Chain A
């Protein structure tokens, strides 16, 4: 049995691009878990997409053995957390599985919005935070300034913080030593009733669901009948083990303080929700671990196969993805313009983009996605309240008493020179100013309350472009507020295109409508007749553009009897038409449905 005092469970937290994954790789490499040849850059981000985007989507964990300077061998369980605000809940559960956190801060950039958000999250979970200054090899590195910043802003001692370069491996040993010295060993009674926290789970087609857990109390081994306390799912443990590098290594048992996995022939990740507590059926613990909540999607959009015949393939693909992703929701819906598809719910826009990309890449599907929207609460005159995820289902205005939209508390970290333009941006997006704190002379933390629907489209892009890439953002949902909202419809050749309808605030409706029409005019190719494109609220037209009729499309000369070539040109033209959606007698290219997602031109 492993001595609890020789275990260190920790995670690494950082703002995006501050070097979290690189440090994780270096730690794995230094402890000799993988030879250099086996190392593929960023071991823990093993999804192709994760590596490409440089972000962590799924939580990962790895167990490594470190021989410290005191001559003892320590077991490190490094839990890698997702690095995006969409996955805040998953992050909080991963943190709850740890006893300490290594905080990586870029020596040049200093504290950013996510640094703060993550530190606060870690402190909320009573984790000991171990600061590390990374990228000291950069010419612009100012480790002393950043250390002072950490002490002033976060209020944790940072003078001893290792100054490292994860890229070159410089001083990484110091981080390992400090993990041993400064991060507390886990506690918990191996003889107590089982109490294990689920921090992630994945689906494996052979083993069923593989539950990632941190045992807080008690012991679990093969054959233990277990129960998930929140979902009530029961099963018998088939295998327990820990995380090798990219592989699962079975072991005898997992006892209090250990991090590992268990399998129990569970068929669906919906039964093993992140944050739930695993206990035994016979001698259950008295109460579940705190902090469990069922995560609900915040952003919805319609997803349709570009080729209507692929509807079944899309359904199968979503089903498979859901096996691994309990927060993905979908239900069938029908659009006049796009045919059969699904209304899908996501944690945020990044989550949406990831699912979309995975469907396209891993399942080879060509998709048409409609504009993402949030969940509105519609209070009807008859006292009924509906949660609206698809704008097309908005009741007639005469039946609506009022509507509410979800709000977020946003924290934006920005250098002082850009405060003005970022405040303008928040104003434009209907933000309510909540306050501002100066971090140091040149940087401030702006606090705004913003409608979620204003930030899901392109807020982040706008933020970046208006601050030359320096502003960083973090936000948290903070309830619903009453708002003046209307449904904006788009009419193409006088016919309403349901897939283009969306909910918008009265004040911005005109502007949005105008931009939509302009954009669609660019995207819809000229056809054999003139096509009016209109934006309307109810029966009132608020904007209009016209796609002129095509006047000429002729292949003048057919030289030397080369008919095959001519036919190929026609076939190509026909292929192009096939990729369009017929709405009434107008052909709308599929990308037109998606181009309206990015309307902000600033």
Chain B
């Protein structure tokens, strides 16, 4: 049997960096872009493994849609050449309003991309401006319909809550307006002010904690009524449209990340590519030279991940799966943490599964922290 694999491809280019963004991205000259795609192809060739069956591909960024569409197509071709890309593979790409055209979209379809993730963030022009986005709500609408016309039947829209100046009412308006477009998938997450971004230096009028929590509550309610099911902390989808690639992360499937700074999980080891463009361009054909921060996962780390990743999904984790993988019962390892958070109403245990309650989702970090094991854990075993 072939070894299942997910592929992530990072395109670090965008038209302009947004004010809240702390990702590896930035505008790149045509020349750099050309060099970068060539380096990407080299990396894919170096990692070539025809025994791996790729079930999902995710092209993220940055803004992949601001690159030459032929380059994107070229990369997918390279994936096909070096891995076994399955017929039913989910192939997603991120795109931003204002960078999409009919021609581009046609090329993406042609190349096999079957899922588009549009970084809309807000349908209020005031909020878009606040975030430092380059597009308007109108441009989102145009892009969305262009994508539909091009034949995309699986579209995700990113929507951000907790934007400076946002009220509960304006958030609800955002959600309701988005419903009008009927996307298959919605990623609704809240703004996190990261150190080192322009936002971190500003005096922001952020919604208070209680308002944010209400926004989160209303998101579940409104989207639920409209037939979107929440399957992860910040992801909602119509039936059958949950993102397989993302679920792979939560279920700890193996994945390889290609491109600048891309992270991977392979052979119980986590590592990430260099974040330095020159180094990447120079050495992408020699994997050992670009892969950094290797962390071999011991049993303790794997158990911790199993919990804090698995519990992100609303269906939670299966006790049987845990026992099968680790040969230890979940209770044996995590009795105290489970009891504590069950008592606080943050966790629920039902029919062999353990999952977060609504309240628990809002406080998930507090729960996850208690699933990190002490240093001494292994010695005690």
Contacts from A to B (Cβ < 8 Å): 528-529, 550-564, 566-567, 569-571, 573-574, 577
Contact = CB atoms under 8 A, between A and B. Distances in A.
Contacts of B305: 563, 567
Contact of A528 (B264, B270, B295, B366): B366
A359 B344 CA distance: 40
B187 A561 contact: no
Nearest to A578: B374
Given A528-B346, A564-B293, A570-B308, A551 B362 contact: yes
B168 interface: no
A119 to B, nearest CB: 55
A570 B23 contact: no
B372 A571 contact: yes
B369 A577 contact: yes
B272 A552 contact: no
6 contacts: A551-B210, A557-B192, A560-B8, A560-B10, A561-B255, A573-B369
A550 B366 contact: yes
B209 interface: yes
Contacts of A571: 372
A558 B312 CA distance: 10
A566 to B, nearest CB: 8
Nearest to B23: A559
Contact of B212 (A552, A563, A573): A552
Interface string B260-304: 011111000010100000000000000000000101000000001
B234 A557 contact: yes
Interface string B187-215: 10110100000000000000001101100
Contacts of B272: 562, 564
A554 B233 contact: yes
A556 B369 contact: no
Contact of B362 (A552, A570, A573, A574): A552
Interface in B239-267: 249, 255, 257, 261-265
Given A554-B361, A560-B8, A571-B372, 13 more contacts: A552-B216, A552-B363, A554-B233, A554-B362, A554-B365, A555-B233, A559-B23, A560-B10, A560-B263, A562-B263, A563-B265, A564-B272, A570-B372
A554 B364 contact: yes
B60 interface: yes
A567 B255 CA distance: 17
B270 A551 contact: no
B60 A559 contact: yes
A255 B72 CA distance: 96
Nearest to B346: A528
Ranked 8 nearest A-B pairs via Cβ:
A556-B189, A553-B365, A557-B189, A562-B263, A556-B234, A551-B213, A552-B362, A561-B249
A373 to B, nearest CB: 36
Interface residues of B, number: 43
A574 B369 contact: yes
Kindly name the residue among B192, B363, B369 whose own CB sees the greatest number of chain A CB atoms within 10 A.
B369
B309 interface: yes
Kindly name the residue among A550, A560, A577 whose own CB sees the greatest number of chain B CB atoms within 10 A.
A560
Interface in B343-377: 344, 346, 361-366, 368-369, 372
B286 to A, nearest CB: 22
Contacts of A566: 308
A552 B359 CA distance: 9
B209 A551 contact: yes
Given A528-B346, A560-B263, A554 B249 contact: no
Contacts of A574: 369, 372
Nearest to B368: A570
A413 to B, nearest CB: 45
A374 B212 CA distance: 49
Contact of B192 (A555, A560, A561, A564): A555
B189 A553 contact: no
A565 to B, nearest CB: 8
Kindly name the residue among A529, A552, A571, A577 whose own CB sees the greatest number of chain B CB atoms within 10 A.
A552
A567 B304 contact: yes
A551 B346 CA distance: 11
Contacts of A569: 365
Contacts of A529: 344
Nearest to A566: B308
Nearest to B293: A564
Contacts of A561: 8, 249, 255, 257, 263-265
B270 A563 contact: yes
A248 B368 CA distance: 60
A248 B354 CA distance: 72
Contacts of A552: 209, 212-213, 216, 362-363
Contacts of B361: 554
A322 B33 CA distance: 68
A355 to B, nearest CB: 31
Contacts of B255: 561
Contacts of A559: 23, 60
A553 B366 contact: yes
Interface string B311-343: 010000000000000000000000000000000
B363 A528 contact: yes
Contacts of B346: 528
Contacts of B233: 554-556
Contact of A553 (B263, B309, B362): B362
Contact of B363 (A550, A556, A570, A577): A550
Given A529-B344, A564-B293, A570-B372, A555 B309 contact: no
A52 to B, nearest CB: 32
A552 B362 CA distance: 5
A558 B249 CA distance: 9
Contacts of B362: 551-554
A566 B304 CA distance: 12
A568 to B, nearest CB: 10
A187 to B, nearest CB: 68
Nearest to A557: B189
Contacts of B209: 551-552
Kindly name the residue among B234, B295, B368 whose own CB sees the greatest number of chain A CB atoms within 10 A.
B368
A559 B187 CA distance: 12
A382 B178 CA distance: 80
Contacts of B363: 528, 550-554
A208 to B, nearest CB: 41
Given A560-B257, A564-B293, A573-B369, A555 B304 contact: no
Interface string B55-72: 000001000000000000
Contacts of A528: 344, 346, 363, 366
